[in-house]
Structure 1
């Protein structure tokens, strides 16, 4: 096999966001595009000579072809070992686990997470470091700098290798170990949760549906829920991964998983339902007749984690992204543990987890996880919920009600304005930023502003500072709005508006969510000029 050094010209815009580089699939399919970005990653991390890499993805369109390209390049650049999921499949949390368990130097994860897949849809690639978590900003900045000046890449002149058979094969001087993508992850879950109690739960007649959304979590859920825990066949819906996710949108929320929501809201619906996303790191939790917001889910998990064997000694602390509601803050206060507010992006939790400062982490975008890996983990969250249900012997609705009566309720919703004209969205944010200092004391509709700022995060572990992480507006009475531009879209700009209102335990805990947030939504629109600036009278997605 011949090592080739190919000349190349930099591609504009190869700047990794909070979850790697996401672009339209056809962009990634341009000759040399994957090669330039991957070589830039290798260059930015000091090369891969002698290193071990974990490689895998969610199986979306172009996943298999890109993995073959990466393997040839890893070998040509001197890597010693590549650990690859069979068929190129690895959920993001499973990849994180493999990096940690095998002591790998890092990993390349191919996914655009919850974004649609297909030749005319989205693709993504990110680099994870040796702790199993997404590369921190210092590394992603270095990768971006490399993409601006890249002039050549190394690859092998060789055919694709067969990734369908478990075992070890050679690719040049590099070993390629093809592993069962589920095995190591399932073993970790059995260490954390009381599988005996979960088997007994299903044996008692407890009913559940898990929607894998034609994405990577299907094989994991079937192996664990049906084959190991004894859930009836058919518990896992849409469980076969598809390159275009069954032509659906693999985002586990009430909009894109509406059939599951309709099922659990019906009179004869299951006791419990859940869904995960394209790469398996997000989750949606439902009980009969009730949807659990990601913010509430994090708070409930923090309050009850000790009921699972892996967390029976309690939690060291909890961290949430800034846009996530403050529900978990009250749990942390009651448990007398630390609580951290970080920017959006799982990489910001990594330092806190590695330092032992926190045990649980969560984002409002349906991501929850713990110190077992360095990524959010959809199926882990589902299993922890099941463990809690098995021990407490209460319904999801009753657990929520009990939680609110103990800690109060943070009414919460996220409004997504997708594919907004980029100039309009950036202009809105810039003008709002300019007037933040003057908002305190002003009244908009029924709400009076008490504080407004642009969120900056000071990392208590490494001292780094991240500025401009979202705009916060606080209102009298405990209300709040947050506005930020998302880094996960591939077309135009995605403007996210987060609305929150706190109700005390003795207050009205059962108002319809959008009704409870109506005044705050109207005030936020007035402050930002949302309708006039975007031309939108309503969000595309409301969760």
Structure 2
């Protein structure tokens, strides 16, 4: 049982190591600076509520560039800080949902996740580190603030003199009182999925519908091995049902964000090859997109339909829906399902930790964000692969009464019953921060002028205007300035937010929503163009930023 010595390494603080709800995201070259990664990991370990000594931590990431070097640094720092055990995915690979599950299953102290989610990877792109708590969910502000405070004053870190650990071999090694367990990153997650879904129903469906074509694009992110195991090995689909399934450090020189813009290879193939069910997930596996030939499932609708078809999923059928939740920018489609089912629905700020609080208190079973994030209380992160299997389950369930059912059939049946919340998001990425601030300042002036309430802009009368504020019903914490909302009397909404998920500049997100009770067959962009025009006029976004078109429309 080889041991090691610990060295206290002197260091100096770096500016800007303030983690958000998704951790610290910066360019790889920034993380590669001397002591930069070590400083942040040391601060993270020091900020663990009960301290790092004796802790068990889950470690893994999405396979992006700099992952392997970062894992070795974490191993040495963990040993130097008297951590008891690390559970590490083979080759450092572990999807964010799988990590959340492992933390919960192993009753670990927490986890260090190495991902920048849907941001591009490679030596000139992004890397990220975030800490998850013992419930498997992202660290709350009390912990991330503590991490940041430590980074501003750090003068040294504790590092063991361990050699590089071979992460390719599954098994357990000990170094004195320090244990490293390298695990298959997929096994425990597959067990969880088989506990949640009816795999016999799914296998039966695919046998009855051998013509039903499925195509899952992992975008060279972390989910490739998960999808191959679940779709090909467990459900018996042909290997051609998965694409881009090998995790690559630069995601194949792509942008691992599952939307209609960045998943264009999938979108093209779905249309050309008449694919019935297409899906994509992002770099770390917590986001999802569902499409089919001539069909697109808006993420806001996705969570609403999963709620409506809860009986298709044994996990929900057994426990019932304890409550539903959505992020504030997400459309109100799920609210309509909640009302019909007599279930409470919560509107929370963007950030999965808010859902986690509700779940831990037993008040929420299912939730979603418009940013292609959907999940349930099986873990404390959004879960892209889970959402995709949920949708396959809906199709299989619906086929019991309509053997030839397709995605559009399911969507149109839902809209006929609940009406349709037309919804779209326009992203203006890497905008000059000063220009973005001018947009927000103008909108702030608009919502602060109370005389605007009651004013009409064409067919739209302003019913309310504010900057969304949320008081957490579980811990009483207050989250202010969560997004500027202009709400109209017919229920339509315009929302503006600055996003913190990019690594540089500012991303302005514009959300628009229009509800139609009967006219639900119009193309979304056609349906909302008058609202987009009004939003751009009120914000003067084009004039302030010079951006005539968004980077991405979803």
| TM more than 0.5 | yes
Tell me the CA shift for residue 446 of structure 1: 4.6
Give the length in aligned residue pairs. 540
Aligned to 2:296: 291
Write out per-residue CA displacement over residues 429-448 of structure 1, whole angstroms, 9 at most, x where no aligned residue. Answer: 13321330323123335533
Name the Cα RMSD after superposition.
1.1
CA contact (8 A) 2:421 2:514 kept: yes
| Aligned pairs for 1:114-513 within 5 A | 114-204=118-208, 205=210, 206-266=212-272, 268-313=273-318, 314-393=320-399, 394-438=405-449, 439-504=452-517, 507-513=518-524
CA contact (8 A) 2:454 2:463 kept: yes
Write out per-residue CA displacement over residues 360-386 of structure 1, whole angstroms, 9 at most, x where no aligned residue. Answer: 010000000001000000000011111
CA contact (8 A) 1:445 1:522 kept: no
In structure 2, list runs of 5 or more residues that go unmatched.
400-404
For 2:335 and 2:437, the matched residues in 1 are separated by 31
Aligned to 2:402: none
Tell me the CA shift for residue 51 of structure 1: 0.8
CA contact (8 A) 1:72 1:171 kept: no
Write out per-residue CA displacement over residues 18-63 of structure 1, whole angstroms, 9 at most, x where no aligned residue. Answer: 2110001111111101111111111222421001000000010000
Tell me the CA shift for residue 78 of structure 1: 0.3
Tell me the CA shift for residue 472 of structure 1: 0.5
For 2:438 and 2:161, the matched residues in 1 are separated by 48
Q: TM-score, normalised by structure 2?
A: 0.96
For 1:115 and 1:143, the matched residues in 2 are separated by 23
CA contact (8 A) 2:114 2:129 kept: yes
Tell me the CA shift for residue 207 of structure 1: 1.4
| Aligned pairs for 1:86-97 within 5 A | 86-97=90-101
CA contact (8 A) 1:18 1:344 kept: no
For 1:326 and 1:67, the matched residues in 2 are separated by 41
CA contact (8 A) 2:21 2:140 kept: no
CA contact (8 A) 2:499 2:509 kept: yes
Write out per-residue CA displacement over residues 452-484 of structure 1, whole angstroms, 9 at most, x where no aligned residue. Answer: 100011111111111111110112322101100
Instruction: Spell out structure 1 runs of 4+ moving beyond 4 A.
Output: none
For 2:136 and 2:233, the matched residues in 1 are separated by 27
Aligned to 1:521: 532
Tell me the CA shift for residue 172 of structure 1: 4.8
For 1:444 and 1:4, the matched residues in 2 are separated by 66
Aligned to 2:47: 44
Tell me the CA shift for residue 117 of structure 1: 0.2
Tell me the CA shift for residue 170 of structure 1: 2.2
